[in-house]
Amino acid sequence: MHGKHMRLALYQPDMPPNTGAMMRLCACLGVGLDIIEPCGFPLDDKRLKRAGMDYIDHLDYTRHRSWNDFAEQIGARRLVLLTTKGAEPYTGFAFRADDILMVGRESAGVPDDVHDRADARLLIPMQPPLRSLNVALSAAMALGEAVRQIS
């Protein structure tokens, strides 16, 4: 893992356009990115470059072969999961500069063992009966608040 700066982790992302949007988000905010494979689409360097456009050159990112590899590498760092099953609104959470914010797969979120490993589970409050936003929008909202707090 690179340094102790805030990072965004994508758990087995399904959709290249969302992955590209979050790559761009991280590059622009100066937040590191972790991509936990397997992805729901072929992730080779050419596709990654296309998804991230020229922003990828300004992005600190790491690809992890599996959830276990990622979990091993983060060690004791705090893992903050954005989830519709969250207990606490992200707006009331005290972020730290070395947090790793994680979003799940577009199609399925994260499995129970990943959910259980999270040190905090945050939600974005929304109007019932609606449940979720696009994952890239969710990441942007939470990262925007986190970066605001630690700046």
Average the pLDDT over each of 10-19, 36-45, 106-115 and give the range with the smallest value. Answer: 36-45
Predicted confidence at residue 1, as pLDDT, reads 46
Provide the CA 119 distance to its chain's centre, in angstroms. Answer: 14
Predicted confidence at residue 53, as pLDDT, reads 64
Interatomic CA distance for residues 21 and 141, integer angstroms: 13
Are 23 and 52 in contact by the 8 Å Cβ rule? The answer is yes
72-121 pLDDT, tens per residue? Answer: 999 999 999 999 998 899 999 999 999 999 999 988 899 999 999 999 99
> Mean pLDDT throughout 10-38?
93
> Mean pLDDT throughout 24-48?
85
* Local structure of 66: helix, strand or coil: coil
52-64 pLDDT, tens per residue? Answer: 567 778 889 999 9
Q: What is the mean pLDDT of the chain?
A: 90
Predicted confidence at residue 107, as pLDDT, reads 86
30-40 pLDDT, tens per residue? Answer: 999 999 999 87
Predicted confidence at residue 40, as pLDDT, reads 78
Q: Percent of the chain at pLDDT above 70?
A: 91
Interatomic CA distance for residues 115 and 11, integer angstroms: 11
Domains contained in the chain, CATH given: 7-150 (3.40.1280.10)
Predicted confidence at residue 41, as pLDDT, reads 76
